[in-house]
Structure 1
């Protein structure tokens, strides 16, 4: 099932494992790549030297192409781009617009640039800046998300830009891939579905918590870090919803200090990071302080295994997932099912892919 995404990135199947912080490490990325999908390292939570080591480890595990997700507003974004260029990484993805300068540097080095967007105007913006493709996430998706459903947003973006579009938000099986192709997408991106594989390093007890969840348990709250964030309902989300900002800020500052110590950053670097985030996302200062919560709270759950005290990012697809296949089983099954659905559809669809 070759699409424009496959031809652009060199992968065999139009299935993308998104760059989830603390989750998308070398093991998961390499397993995805070996299975023919596009695995993307979640580099936003890695120090520069950790990212370099992670890229080397993926290379030791597979010769297939893979990508790295970067924060465009990170103070060391330029150094990270330099690293990707030196290492010859195939794809660079971004959660925010990377701007013409970074896109130009990456493309001059032969690296495919795929920003993620949540609105039509953002897709048009990154296309004008030179992006090679775009990943569009609808409201069903986990983590930071928008308010428009994938089934409404996706066709609008497909109509608005002339580059390959990857659909994300609510996908978990072959029927979803078939539907996305019929909408005109060139593939699908999945986070929660890849988190719930046997190749994911997330603790088993946390995976069981996800498997037991209903779609309605994947709630959206802005009380954790100041931005709409879809995650599993927990004791933490209940406390956040019932606690005012003044009582939440001291905890946010403590966790920011913990993240600074863990990352090796200086307070000056942390402040510079906050300033960059404030400019890029147009956040008020209280939201910037709360945003310092996110890395440590997600780490507490997805690395430390504390499902009640940490954040469990989750898309609504969590309610449809019941087992933990390997990445190879997952991708093979999705592609085969999608081919079967498309082949049996009345008047067989001819997706623009």
Structure 2
């Protein structure tokens, strides 16, 4: 199946595996690429050196095109861009809207730029700045998300921009691919569906928790970092929602210290990142891809009442630290298997997924289902 997406990035099938932090590593990305879809390596939970090593590992496993997901507001974003350019990565995707200058720098080096957005105005902005395509996620998607359903948001964006649009949020099979194409999309992107494959490195016990979930077990909460965050309903989420302000701050400091040690990020940089997240949310400036790196679309309500002595209007220090250390909560589950201590970002499709195919099996099945649906549609 050829679409504007397959032509743009050079893959066989119009399917994208999103850049999920702690999940989208070299094994999953290379398995996706070998299956003919576009795998996206999550970089926000890696150091720059780890990113370069991960890119080279993917290269050793596949000759197919793949991409790297970046946080445009990260202090070392340009260093990560240099890795992408120097290592010949085909696609750069973004969890936060990249600047016009960053888009130009990547395009000048021949890199395809695909920002992720959660609103039409964000799509219009990055398209005007030169983005090659845009990934748009509706509220069904996992991680940080908005309130508008994909079926409403997708056609809005398709009508608003003249570049290929990739649809995300609620997709898991061939029927969804055909539906997205009918809206004018050039392909679909999936996170939770690729997380729940045999090629995913997520611990088996965590995968079992996802498979046991129903649609009603996937909720949106602001208790984790103050932004609307779609995830599985767990005791940990309930505890965060019930925690008082002092307890929330203590937990945030502890997890932030852990993330600082793992990532090599300084305390000032973490505070800066947390403030950037919250600032972008208040000003509608953070279209992004949820789930992957603990960062995603803005538009959410502020969590709690904040504090007049906090770092900014309406903000508390616990909110800022929680925003900065959300990756640690994701790591506890996705790497360590601690569903009691971590959070599990999830799209609503978790409630209808009941198996763990390989990436090859999944992509082949989706394309076969799509072909069947197209053949059996009633004539016009």
TM-score tier (shorter) = over 0.9
Q: Any runs of at least 4 consecutive aligned residues in structure 1 with deviations exceeding 6 A, and if so which?
A: none
Q: Distance in 1 between matches of 2:138 and 2:245?
A: 28
Instruction: Give the conservation status (yes or no) of the 8 Å contact 1:75–1:276.
Output: no
Query: Secondary structure of 2:332's partner?
Result: helix
Map of 1:341 onto structure 2: 373
Query: Secondary structure of 1:220's partner?
Result: strand
Instruction: Give the conservation status (yes or no) of the 8 Å contact 1:107–1:113.
Output: yes
Once the two structures are overlaid, the 10-residue window that deviates more, 241-250 or 61-70, is 241-250
Q: Distance in 2 between matches of 1:184 and 1:89?
A: 27
Q: Distance in 2 between matches of 1:51 and 1:74?
A: 14
Q: How does 1:11-90 map to 2 (within 5 A)?
A: 11-90=11-90
Query: Secondary structure of 2:103's partner?
Result: helix
Map of 1:175 onto structure 2: 175
Q: Distance in 2 between matches of 1:236 and 1:280?
A: 27
RMSD over aligned CA atoms reads 1.3
Matched, 1:110 2:142: no
Query: Secondary structure of 1:139's partner?
Result: coil
Query: Per-residue CA shift, 1:206-239, capped at 9, x if unaligned?
Result: 1011000001111100110111000000011111
Paired positions, count:
348
Query: Per-residue CA shift, 1:118-170, capped at 9, x if unaligned?
Result: 11111111111111100000000000000000011111111111110000000
Once the two structures are overlaid, the 10-residue window that deviates more, 162-171 or 239-248, is 239-248
Query: Secondary structure of 2:331's partner?
Result: helix
Q: Distance in 1 between matches of 2:366 and 2:245?
A: 43
Query: Per-residue CA shift, 1:277-298, capped at 9, x if unaligned?
Result: 3444448543322213311110
Query: Secondary structure of 2:44's partner?
Result: helix
Q: Distance in 2 between matches of 1:51 and 1:187?
A: 27
Map of 2:329 onto structure 1: 297
Q: Distance in 2 between matches of 1:155 and 1:99?
A: 25
Instruction: Give the conservation status (yes or no) of the 8 Å contact 2:44–2:70.
Output: yes
Query: Secondary structure of 1:337's partner?
Result: helix
Query: Secondary structure of 2:72's partner?
Result: coil
Q: How does 1:165-204 map to 2 (within 5 A)?
A: 165-204=165-204
The structural deviation recorded for 1:275 is 4.1
The structural deviation recorded for 1:264 is 1.7
Instruction: Give the conservation status (yes or no) of the 8 Å contact 1:73–1:96.
Output: yes
Map of 1:329 onto structure 2: 361
Q: Distance in 2 between matches of 1:105 and 1:55?
A: 19
Map of 1:313 onto structure 2: 345
> What TM-score does the superposition give when structure 1 sets the normalisation length?
0.96
Instruction: Give the conservation status (yes or no) of the 8 Å contact 2:271–2:324.
Output: no
Map of 1:351 onto structure 2: none
Higher share of residues assigned helix: 1
Unmatched 5+ residue regions in structure 2?
Answer: 283-301, 303-311
Instruction: Give the conservation status (yes or no) of the 8 Å contact 2:271–2:321.
Output: no
Q: Distance in 1 between matches of 2:355 and 2:333?
A: 20
Q: Distance in 2 between matches of 1:265 and 1:321?
A: 36
Instruction: Give the conservation status (yes or no) of the 8 Å contact 1:240–1:248.
Output: yes
Once the two structures are overlaid, the 10-residue window that deviates more, 247-256 or 226-235, is 247-256
Unmatched 5+ residue regions in structure 1?
Answer: 349-353
Q: How does 1:224-263 map to 2 (within 5 A)?
A: 224-263=224-263
- Cα distance 1:168–1:308, how it changes in 2: closer, same or farther (>3 A)? same
Q: Distance in 1 between matches of 2:33 and 2:49?
A: 22
Query: Per-residue CA shift, 1:24-71, capped at 9, x if unaligned?
Result: 000000000000000000111111011000000000000000000000
Query: Secondary structure of 2:365's partner?
Result: helix
Instruction: Give the conservation status (yes or no) of the 8 Å contact 1:166–1:188.
Output: yes
Query: Secondary structure of 2:152's partner?
Result: helix
